[in-house]
Amino acid sequence: MKRRDFLKSVLILPGLSLLASLGKEGVSYAMVVDVSKCIGCGKCVVACKIENDVPKEMPISRTWIEGYSADYSSPYSRTQVQKVVMNTTENPFIKMKWKYKTVFYVPKLCNQCSSAPCVQVCPVYARFYTKEGVVLVDKDSCIGCKYCVTACPYGATFVHPEQKVTDKCTFCYHRISKGLKPACVLVCPTGARKFGNINDKNSEVYRLLKESRVAVLKPEMGTYPRVFYINLDTTVVE
Amino acid sequence: MRKKALLIGIGITAIVYALAFSYIFLISPIILEQGVPWIGSIVPVQIKELPIVRDIVAGVEKGYISNWFEKELSKKAKYKENEVCGECHKEYLDLIISSNHSSLACESCHGVGEEHSKLRTAWSIVVDRSRDACMSCHLNVSGREAIVTVDENHYPGVKCVVCHDAHDPLSISWSEGS
C-alpha cells in the first residue's frame, strides 16, 4: 500500500461521520427575551425557584430580574445608572423609588453559551453540552470547586447551599425534553420570554429572530449565547 | 530505512488516532447516554454488547459512573401546563383564552399546580382574590409600559375582583349594592 492510499484510508471514518451529519438539522433550543415587554412582576423568579428546588429566601437564583434606572447624558460615558436585582421571592420593584427617570427591567438567566467558559474550566468534566445545545451540570460529578462561578461572565452559576454543588439554569431540561415549556416562560404574563427550537421554521423563536433586531449579552466574551434580547439597552453591560 | 520508520510512525499514529476517535465519538459514556443518530447507519454491531461497553453500563448501574443525565430527565415537572388544568376547568380556560388575559397561563396567578393536580381540593391551589395579587402586575410602577396599569387612587381599598372578572378583565360588573 502506498503512503498516499494509507493516508486516504485513515481519513475515511471521520469523513463518513461528517457526511452523515450533513443535511441533518437537529433540535437547537434558544430563548428570546423582549426587554420592552418585561414589567418586573417577578413571577418567573418564583416559578423557577419552586420548579428547581432553589431556596426561596436566599439571594441566589437560576433566573433573576435586574431593574435599571438610567439618566442619559452626553457624552454617553457619563450616563448615570442605578441597578436593583430581584433574586428572592420578594419583589423590590413595587415600592422602589428610582433615582432616574428611564426605568426598564431585564430578565437574566444562564445564556447557555455555545462556547461556554464554565465547560472549559471544569476540572472534573461535570459540565457538558447536550445535543440540543443546553449546558448541563452533572451534580454527581461536581466537586464544588467554584471555578465555573468565577469563569461565568454572566454570573449565572452559583453554589446550591443544600446540595453543596454548583447549580445553574438548565432551560428546565426535564420539562423541555417532555415537550413542556420552561417554568419561567410558562408563567410570564406578558410573553416577554419566548422559548423554542431555532431550526423549526414554525416556531415563535424562529419568527422573532427573523423579524427583530436581536442582541446578546457581552458578545465581546466570545461565548455565543443562546439567549437573545430584543430592545436591549446599551446600559445593560453586566 | 528512513522511509520505513516514517511509515511505521504514521501507522502507529493512525491507529492511536482511530482508537481515540472511536472512543470519543462512538463508545464514550456521554455518547452512549445521549445516543448517536447516525450510529446505526455506519457501525453495524450493537455497541452496547461490546465487552468494554458492558463494563461501563455495569459501572453506571453500580454507581461508579454517574447516571445523572437519566436522573435529570426523570425529574417530575411541577408546573403543569394549561391543558392539564383544562381537563377539569374547561370553562375557565375557554374564558381566559378569548379574553384580554389570554397571554397568562393558569399557573401565573394560581401558583404551582403539582399538588392540586393530584389532590384536586380547593385548598391545594392558590386562589388569591386580594388587591395585592392584581397589583403585583397592574400597579403603576415605573417601567411598566407594556400593560394597563392603575395607581392607588383607582377605587382605593376595593378588591379588584368586585368589578373585574380576573378571567375576563374587560367585562366590568359593578352595582351600587356591591
Q: Which residues contact A99 (CB under 8 A, 6 or more apart)?
A: A69, A71, A80, A82
- Contact check, Cβ <8 Å, B69/A47: no
The DSSP code sequence of A32-82 is: EEEGGG-----HHHHHHHHHTT--SSSS--SEEEEEEEEE--SSGGG-EEE
Considering only alpha carbons, which residue of chain B is nearest residue A139?
B68
Integer Cα distance of A182 and A113 in angstroms: 17
Query: Residue A101's pLDDT is what?
Result: 87
The radius of gyration computed from the CA coordinates of chain B, to the nearest angstrom, equals 30
Q: Which residue has the cell 375582583?
A: B161
- Picking from A154, A136, A158, the residue whose alpha carbon sits closest to that of residue A216 is A154
CA distance A82 to chain B (A): 13
DSSP A180: P
- Residues of chain B scoring pLDDT < 50: 40, 44, 178
Contact A189/A43 with Cβ under 8 angstroms?
Answer: yes
Which ranges of chain A does DSSP label H, i.e. alpha helix? 3-10, 12-21, 43-51, 117-121, 147-151, 173-176, 183-187, 204-211
Which of B36, B53, B74 terminates a domain? The answer is B74
Query: Residue A209's pLDDT is what?
Result: 93
Contact A67/A107 with Cβ under 8 angstroms?
Answer: no
Give the range of the structural domain holding residue B141, as residue numbers without chain letter: 82-172
Task: Indicate whether B96 and B147 sit together in one domain.
Answer: yes
| CB contact B122 to A (< 8 Å) | no
ipTM, interface predicted TM-score of the complex: 0.80
Query: Residue B173's pLDDT is what?
Result: 77
B-chain residues within 8 Å CB-CB of A172? 77
Q: Which of B38, B68, B107 sits opposite A187 (nearest CB)?
A: B107
Assessment of whether the complete model's pTM goes beyond 0.90: no
Integer Cα distance of B157 and B150 in angstroms: 13
Q: Which of B17, B34, B112 sits opposite A50 (nearest CB)?
A: B112
Task: Identify whether B21 is part of a domain.
Answer: yes
A72-81 per-residue burial string, b: 16 or more CB within 10 A, e: under 16? eeeeeeeeeb
A-chain residues within 8 Å CB-CB of B74? 174
B-chain residues within 8 Å CB-CB of A24? 37-38
Per-residue pLDDT of A58-76, as tens digits, reads 999 999 999 999 988 888 7
Beta-carbon neighbour count of residue B9 at 10 Å?
10
Task: Identify whether B178 is part of a domain.
Answer: no
Q: Which CATH number fits domain A3-230: 3.30.70.3270, 3.40.50.2300, 3.30.70.20, 3.90.1150.10?
A: 3.30.70.20
Task: Indicate whether B115 and B91 sit together in one domain.
Answer: yes
Task: Identify whether B110 is part of a domain.
Answer: yes
Our count of domains for chain B comes to 2
Per-residue pLDDT of A145-177, as tens digits, reads 999 999 999 999 999 999 999 999 999 999 999
B-chain residues within 8 Å CB-CB of A17? 25, 38, 42
Task: Indicate whether B51 and B119 sit together in one domain.
Answer: no
| CB contact B130 to A (< 8 Å) | no
Integer Cα distance of A25 and A176 in angstroms: 18
Q: Which of A3, A17, A174 sits opposite B72 (nearest CB)?
A: A174
Task: Indicate whether B87 and B137 sit together in one domain.
Answer: yes
Task: Indicate whether B105 and B62 sit together in one domain.
Answer: no
Task: Identify whether B162 is part of a domain.
Answer: yes
- Residues of chain A scoring pLDDT < 50: none
- B10-19 long-range contacts, CB within 8 A, separation 24+: B10/A3, B10/A6, B10/A7, B11/A6, B14/A6, B14/A10, B17/A10, B18/A10, B18/A13
Q: Which residue has the cell 437547537?
A: A28
Query: Residue A65's pLDDT is what?
Result: 94
Task: Indicate whether B89 and B161 sit together in one domain.
Answer: yes
- Picking from A66, A71, A72, A73, the residue whose alpha carbon sits closest to that of residue A96 is A66
Which of B34, B52, B74 terminates a domain? The answer is B74
Task: Identify whether B146 is part of a domain.
Answer: yes
Integer Cα distance of B153 and B151 in angstroms: 5
Query: Residue A21's pLDDT is what?
Result: 60
Task: Indicate whether B96 and B126 sit together in one domain.
Answer: yes
Contact A228/A28 with Cβ under 8 angstroms?
Answer: no
Query: Residue B89's pLDDT is what?
Result: 92
Integer Cα distance of A69 and B142 in angstroms: 9
- Picking from A63, A84, A94, the residue whose alpha carbon sits closest to that of residue A184 is A63
Task: Indicate whether B92 and B161 sit together in one domain.
Answer: yes
Task: Indicate whether B23 and B62 sit together in one domain.
Answer: yes
Which of B74, B91, B115 terminates a domain? The answer is B74
Task: Indicate whether B157 and B94 sit together in one domain.
Answer: yes
Q: Which residues contact A13 (CB under 8 A, 6 or more apart)?
A: B18, B21, B22
